[in-house]
Amino acid sequence: MGVATGEVMVDVAAARDGGFGMISGSVVTTAARLQAYAPHDTVVVDDATRACSDRRTAYQELPPVLLAGRSRPVDLFRALSQDVRTCVLAHQA
């Protein structure tokens, strides 16, 4: 699984009446591209996700990768413990 932290646009109205919500933003594409670098049954995150969740999650640094659409390499981290939902929950508060 690939996880990236950043800003997105959300269409919550699309989720009414059993529909599916819609999100868009470069962070969505980044997360999808990070997934390609995640070994089987692991979670790979970007630096922003690691920074907001490293108090509760241990990480292993991986070599940076150059993703399509990015001019600079992206730092990668493999989650070793806990879960990265800590970051999501912290930003919802």
Spell out the domain ranges in the chain: 2-92
Question: What CATH homologous superfamily does 2-92 map to?
Answer: Nucleotide cyclase, GGDEF domain (3.30.70.1230)
Q: Do the Cβ atoms of 30 and 6 come closer than 8 Å?
A: yes
Alpha-carbon gap, residue 46 to 74, rounded angstroms? 7
Q: What is the pLDDT of residue 87?
A: 54
Res. 56: pLDDT tops 90: no
pTM for the model stands at: 0.75
Q: What is the pLDDT of residue 39?
A: 84
Cross-strand pairs, 90: none
Alpha-carbon gap, residue 75 to 36, rounded angstroms? 14
